[in-house]
Amino acid sequence: MNRKLLFSFLAALGTVVSVKAQRNELGVRLGMSNLVGDIGKTNYLLQEPLDLGRASDWGVPFYGGLLYRFNFNPYQTIRLDLGYNQIQFSDKVAKEDYRRHRNSYGKNDVYEGSLVFEYNFFPVNNEQVSMVSPYIFGGIGALVYDAPKATLSHDFRRDADGVAQAPINELDFVTTAQYSTGTKTTVHIPFGIGLKYKFNYNWGIFAEATFRYTLTDQLDYSNILSKDVKSSYNADIKDPATNGSLLQSGAYYVVSKEREAEFTNKRNVGDSNSKDWINTFSLGLTYSFGRPPCYCD
């Protein structure tokens, strides 16, 4: 048994040493990203820029990224991606009538990092002057994005002089919403297809369609979570029992919580069980460096 363990350890060590001798690639890529969510168009690739009225402020949906490839053999690669997506969404350009009538819109800045396994159908990573190969890939990653938040401010009605009035027989107070955003992180599952052309030994260009299934429904701000809705209570009139705001006691507090739930239900649009997608079509350039690979048994 000990000999078997020793042999396994030496074999693993030999694999690590061999991997260190493999070829590396660094590259950049540019493209266009689009969101498939509850607001805007639902084209999975190559959505046209949004209505021209906002293009001067937002520009066009954009993707830019850096990548590192570690080629295990002529066919198999591990790839690290770092990228930035500026996604846009507007009901004005949607196909569905109900979306166009709703006319919601916005944009989000999404940063990504992912680790994917890439498989080439031909030995494009081998030592030759040039070669072309289609490839497929899939992996896992993380997204950093802005998500909606809200603060509900509960206050008593006031007279002409601004004095808070606490009625005796009715819960006469007003609730107003103040919106904001906060940074969140979620998991995404990238996968897709591409075509890579290697030339002049060290250089490569590629075109790629990337599909990212995300584990959030907030990239288009269509869904606000109940935990992200907070309440503030005016303390002009205090509860004698607690010396806190009267709005935080008894029936007032119950009604404030009911209004929180009602606000969340009315604020959200679309299907909260359907997650968002970010999809990209991009073109890239890579350069190979380091010791040439020896794909030997």
Residue type, 35: L
Give Cα 34 distance to the centre of its chain. 11
Measured CA to CA, the distance from residue 13 to residue 18 in angstroms comes to 9
Architecture of the domain spanning 24-148+180-227+273-289: Beta Barrel (2.40)
3-state percent breakdown (helix, strand, coil) of the chain, nearest 5: 20, 45, 35
Whole-structure pTM value = 0.82
pLDDT digits (tens, 9 = 90+) for 264-288: 999 998 888 889 999 999 999 999 8
**pLDDT tens track, the chain, 297 positions:** 455 544 454 444 344 434 333 489 999 999 998 899 888 887 777 666 555 566 667 777 889 999 999 998 889 999 999 999 999 888 887 888 888 888 888 899 999 999 999 999 999 988 788 899 999 999 999 999 999 999 999 998 888 777 877 766 667 889 999 999 999 999 999 999 999 999 988 899 999 999 999 999 999 999 999 999 999 999 888 888 888 998 998 889 999 999 999 999 999 988 888 899 999 999 999 998 876 545 554
Question: Could you say which DSSP state residue 24 is in?
Answer: E
- Dump the DSSP string for 107-124: EEEEEEEEEEEEEESS-T
Phi-psi region of 13 (alpha: psi -120 to 50; beta: other; left: phi over 0): alpha
Beta strands 229-233; 131-156: pairing state: parallel
With beta carbons less than 8 A apart as the criterion, state whether 114 and 143 touch.
Answer: no
- Cβ proximity of 266 and 101 under 8 Å: no
Tell me if 87 sits within 8 A of 34, measured CB to CB: yes
- How far is Cα 255 from Cα 263, in angstroms, rounded to an integer? 12
Q: pLDDT tens digits for 119-164?
A: 999 999 887 888 999 999 999 999 999 999 999 999 988 887 778 7
Q: Which residues contact 245 (CB under 8 A, 6 or more apart)?
A: 233, 234, 235, 237, 238, 239
Domain segments of the chain: what residues?
A: 24-148+180-227+273-289
Contact 181, 248 (CB under 8 A): no
Cβ atoms 270, 216 nearer than 8 A: no
- 80 contacts 112 by C-beta, under 8 angstroms: no
Which residue spans within the chain are E strands per DSSP?
A: 24-36, 62-71, 76-90, 105-120, 131-156, 173-199, 203-214, 229-233, 277-289
Residue 182 in contact with residue 268, Cβ under 8 Å?
A: no
Q: How far is CA 3 from CA 17, 53, 218, 297, in A?
A: 21, 73, 55, 22
Measured CA to CA in angstroms, residue 203 lies from 128, 148, 208, 281, 290 at distances of 11, 43, 17, 21, 13
